[in-house]
Amino acid sequence: MDSARSDILARIRAVPRRQPAPVPRDYDTARSVEDPVGLFVERVEDYRAVVRRVSEDELPQRIGDCLARRGVSNMVAPPDLPESWRWAGTRWSLDEPPLSLSEVDSADGVLTGAAVAIAETGTIVLDAGARQGRRMLTLVPDYHLCVVRADQIEVSVPEALRRLDPTRPLTFVSGPSATSDIELDRVEGVHGPRTLEVLVVDI
Amino acid sequence: MGRNPVTWLGSPTFPRAARTALGDTQLRTNLRKATTTIRAKRARAVAELADWERLRRAGEAIKNDVLANLDTYLVRLEEAVTARGGVVHWARDAEEANRIVFDLARAKGADEVVKVKSMATAEIGLNEYLRARGVRPVETDLAELIVQLGNDRPSHILVPAIHRNRSEIKEIFSRAMAEPPDSDDPRVLAEAARRHLRRRFLSAKVAVSGANFAVADTGSVVVVESEGNGRMCLTLPETLITVMGIEKLVPTWRDLEVFLQLLPRSSTAERMNPYTSVWTGVTPGDGPGEFHLVLLDNGRTATLADEVGRQALRCIRCSACLNVCPVYERTGGQAYGSVYPGPIGAILAPQLAGDMTDKQAASLPYASSLCGACYEVCPVRINIPEALTHLRARAVEARPKHTAEALAMSSAGWVFRDPRRYEAAQRAGSLSRFLAGSDGTIKRLPWPGSKWTSTRDVPAVPKESFRMWWRRNRG
């Protein structure tokens, strides 16, 4: 194994190389749009996800509306999910102590917050931080309800990446699971959650 | 060291394979529909970004930096991954990489591994290697599953089952699945795949993936996908093994801001792909407890040594060049007889195979009309036509010296060296116009010229050469 390492490095070093020109960074590292929240909503909808804008006060009720409409009775959630988000009509299993895979698999859905969102691409980024829990929670259940605060929304990819810590496990979610492998027809849901609903909280 | 599996054993040369493919009208219909659709979609996705050209130039420059300082960045990546609890392995060739993966799977007592779609593991023939030793590889990407269950070969980098339509897929699933789909609606077919794979995801101990990018500074590895099968493999099994070509690095976290814009818009023509996963070593309590990163050479350092050919190593496997290529659109990917089809395959596969005396590999740089569309769409500005002509020259050099072409070229040299011989040849050549039809083209030359005219028409040589005209009018 060690000899493979030194062989490969030696082969690379044997190639005569010039230092290339510096990387031109004249692309847009930030972009401004009039209404980033509106753009985010529009772009997430393009992936056929359901998005609603709500106020801070009405958030618990609107979470309840979503769960009732879907008829779910059994939700999983990260341990630090705010008490007020846990709508009373549903049974909540918090991931503490850690739920087993089969417990997560048998849940109807999961409710989380987010770390950052990207308006231009309609992307939600999860970093296993506050109100998000570990990666398995947002992956295995078939329904993901996600709360994004308006001040978490950045316009472009470069702006969003600046706010993230690369050493955390990151998941970028752009719409529900989808495939275009059969005649390039977009079909929602193969293995990840087939339904993604987003509540955007205006601050 | 065995033969590099990047090109498929026993494949005919490209012209022969292309002739067969061209006769398959179903294939041509499927391909035309798919490539036309994706071309139009991509153009719209790219037009949204006013700084697209600047992003391309940045992408090109970042990858050139990676290639110029590959040793430094690889060592940095190794340090960062190790510091975060991962284990780094180095593999000189396919055999070495396969053995590392097999030994790791065996050490975990796994008789089955789940796989994220990966060009690197296809390139080294990992599935065949594992299967021969009693470990079942399960492809979990829908298209790869279609290919695997149909005992077929992939025909596109991004959508490997692009050559199949829905009724063919229904048939393949019906034969291979315990619960066969009852219609050919893509929704029903996707649901059948979900059921087929669900239990495997939940019980797998070992997963194998490729990597789209790895960040040297932080040790972060990135996988870009759509269906969630990638996330399943990267999250649920206890052990994750990632096989990555040594060129798939970016130096810093910031560099991803360029590639996370270039890649989805170039490949699936979306603003962003549904899922992107980033992980750094292991995170206790979240995801695999064990992470192995296999750094694969397999012909890459040899490619790096070729000043013109090395630009192929900038490739981020978006497959935009396939979708615009007039040759690919008509022949499909399987005619290339290699893991990497299309324009990028025509320059990457022969270099990775590293054997220009192999007739099949040497035929690939000719699978092009040199129209340049591939260069225009490439998000990292690989000058594919330039590399193609360069590799054609290498293919000719590697050829034995007594071929008809070599004879023709050396006699042409003899003719060109003497003005009298040259004029005599011109006069003789103008006689060939008697072979031409009324439209002034020659459809069929006698042998050996027939090898040329079997695939194209030749304009007839004019009656009078320029030299003759000059002498008559000005002389």
- pLDDT, tens only, B160-191: 999 999 999 999 999 999 999 999 999 999 99
Residues 6+ apart with CB under 8 A from B337: B7, B8, B11, B12, B14, B17, B360
Can you give the pTM of this predicted structure?
0.93
Residue B142: list chain A partners with CB under 8 A.
Answer: 179, 181-182, 190
Q: What are phi and psi of B32, to 5 degrees?
A: -60, -45
How far, in Å, CA of A180 to CA of B38, rounded? 11
Please state the domain count of chain B.
2
Please state the domain count of chain A.
1
Domain with A98 in it: 34-202
The mean-pLDDT minimum among A140-144, B23-27, B308-312, B422-426 falls in B422-426
CATH number of the domain that A81 lies in? 3.40.50.10420
Residue A19 DSSP SS3: coil
Residue B396 maps to a domain: no
Taking a contact as any Cβ pair under 8 Å apart, which residues of chain B between 9 and 38 contact chain A? 30, 33-34, 37-38
Interface contact B140, partner A, CB < 8 A? yes
What does pLDDT average to over chain B? 94
How far, in Å, CA of B124 to CA of B293, rounded? 15
User: pLDDT band at residue B464, thresholds of 50, 70 and 90?
Assistant: confident
Domain with B427 in it: 420-474
Looking at CA atoms only, how far is residue B401 from chain A in angstroms? 30
Residue A4 maps to a domain: no
How far, in Å, CA of B285 to CA of A136, rounded? 10
pLDDT confidence of residue B1: 53
Minimum-distance CB partner of B304 among A12, A123, A177: A12
Residue A29 maps to a domain: no
Residue B147 maps to a domain: yes
Residue B226 maps to a domain: yes
- pLDDT, tens only, B7-66: 999 999 999 999 999 999 989 999 999 999 999 999 999 999 999 999 999 999 999 999
CB-CB under 8 Å, B220 with A167: yes
Residue B315 maps to a domain: no
Residue B37: list chain A partners with CB under 8 A.
Answer: 184
CB-CB under 8 Å, B260 with A161: yes
Residue where a domain stops, chosen among B253, B273, B301 = B301
Please provide the DSSP assignment of B214-231 as one string: EETTT-EEEEEESSSHHH
Q: What is the ipTM of this complex?
A: 0.97
Please provide the DSSP assignment of B265-332 as one string: HHHT-SSS-SEEEEEES-BTTBS-SEEEEEEE-TTHHHHHTSTTGGGGGG-----HHHHH-HHHHHH-
B170: nearest CA partner in chain A:
A182
Minimum-distance CB partner of B38 among A21, A157, A184: A184
Interface contact B64, partner A, CB < 8 A? yes
Residue A189 DSSP SS3: coil
Residue where a domain stops, chosen among B266, B301, B336 = B301
| Interface contacts (A, B; CB < 8 Å) | 230
Residue found under tokens 């929240």: A37
Q: Please, which residues bridge with residue B208 across strands?
A: B115, B241
Residue A78 maps to a domain: yes
Residue where a domain stops, chosen among B301, B319, B336 = B301
Interface contact B280, partner A, CB < 8 A? yes
Same domain, B295 and B424: no
Residue A105 maps to a domain: yes
Same domain, B210 and B71: yes
pLDDT confidence of residue B96: 98
Residue found under tokens 């594919």: B384
Handedness of CA B148, B152, B153, B154 (dihedral sign): negative
Residue A168: list chain B partners with CB under 8 A.
Answer: 280, 283
How far, in Å, CA of B324 to CA of B375, rounded? 10
Same domain, B295 and B437: no
A158: nearest CA partner in chain B:
B257
pLDDT confidence of residue B452: 76
- pLDDT, tens only, B74-109: 999 999 999 999 999 999 999 999 999 999 999 999
Residue A6 maps to a domain: no
CB-CB under 8 Å, B51 with A4: no
Residues 6+ apart with CB under 8 A from B127: B115, B121, B137, B139, B148
- pLDDT, tens only, B370-401: 999 999 999 999 999 999 999 999 999 998 77
CB-CB under 8 Å, B62 with A181: no
Residue B384 maps to a domain: no
- CA-CA distances (angstroms) from residue B306 to A6, A15, B299, B351, B399? 21, 9, 11, 9, 19
